[in-house]
Structure 1
Amino acid sequence: MGENQRTSQLEQQISSINSEYVRSMDQKKKRQRAQLVRLYRRLGVFGVMAALVIGFLVHSLWNSQQTLADKHEAKVEVEASLAKTLEEQETLELQIAKLNDDEYIGKLLRKDYFLSDENEIIFTLPKDEKDEETNE
């Protein structure tokens, strides 16, 4: 039995040394895994935050482009309206200038109200249906 006791004592000593070493290595591996898990979590959170910021910036850019396009369309419409208004203004200014001329007023009165100058006879001619269709 002496030998059995010695071997069991040696096994206890060896297993205790082994178990302490193994425990320390296990603890070291657990710390490394925990560090990796924390690193992956931080990277994941950072990635999500970066995606949110990029998404917000893209959304803002898209809205800005849409607003710019809408304003450009409105500008084109306003410019067309301005051109039409300026054309009407020129026509009205020309008509005002004509209305300041007595001869033009006389022609207008004779044409629209069938007034006549002295020694002038007014004849009205029947209108042709073909002329009416082309005027429309």
Structure 2
Amino acid sequence: MAERKKRQSNNVRTLENDYVRSTETHVQYSRKQKVRTRRRLTVFGLLATIVLVFLISTSLTQNKRLAEKQQQKEEVVAKLDEVKEQQDMLNLQIAKLEDDEYIAKLARKEYFLSDDGEIIFTIPEDEEKDEKSNNISN
């Protein structure tokens, strides 16, 4: 039976009139339109994918760079705090050094100078502390 249908389809001849030709032309045009549409969608999809990948990579790069800058900022802020603390300490020392009594006290302590009628006794505290720490650790 299958062979019979094949033979019949070979024996069938298409009509040659305006309606059949216009229908075939319309079908061919529809097929070409579908192919063009698929191609356009494929190209658009490819472009959209490329743009999306570019935007995502740019975003990731910027996030990485932002994290690095944030880390640098934290380090600089910590360093700034240390410098401000040191500056406050130095300003305090400057204020103390402007005081004559403090300078006199410092000179007596560091250079073993004395006022009139004072006697200076030196006690070796460092050696005693070293001996105590050695005894405690043993």
Shift of 1:64: 2.1
Q: What is the TM-score with the length of structure 2 in the denominator?
A: 0.72
Q: Which runs of 4+ in 1 moved over 6 A?
A: none
The whole-number CA distance in structure 1 between the counterparts of 2:114 and 2:15 is: 132
Identity across matched positions, percent: 46
The whole-number CA distance in structure 1 between the counterparts of 2:126 and 2:50 is: 75
The structure that has the greater radius of gyration is: 1
Shift of 1:127: 2.4
Match of 2:91 in 1: 93
**2:16 partner SS:** helix
The whole-number CA distance in structure 2 between the counterparts of 1:130 and 1:104 is: 28
Q: What is the TM-score with the length of structure 1 in the denominator?
A: 0.73
The whole-number CA distance in structure 2 between the counterparts of 1:130 and 1:83 is: 37
Q: Which runs of 5+ in 2 are unaligned?
A: 1-11, 134-138
The whole-number CA distance in structure 1 between the counterparts of 2:39 and 2:127 is: 88
> Comparing 30-39 with 88-97, which one deviates more in the overlay?
30-39
The whole-number CA distance in structure 1 between the counterparts of 2:83 and 2:64 is: 28
Q: Which runs of 5+ in 1 are unaligned?
A: 1-13
Match of 2:5 in 1: none
Q: How does 1:20-39 map to 2 (within 5 A)?
A: 20=16, 24=21, 26-39=24-37
Match of 2:8 in 1: none
Matched letter for residue 97 of structure 1: A
Describe the shift of the 1:28–1:130 C-alpha distance in structure 2 as closer, same or farther (beyond 3 A).
Answer: farther
Q: How does 1:1-136 map to 2 (within 5 A)?
A: 15=13, 18-20=14-16, 24=21, 26-129=24-127, 131-132=129-130
The whole-number CA distance in structure 1 between the counterparts of 2:47 and 2:120 is: 90
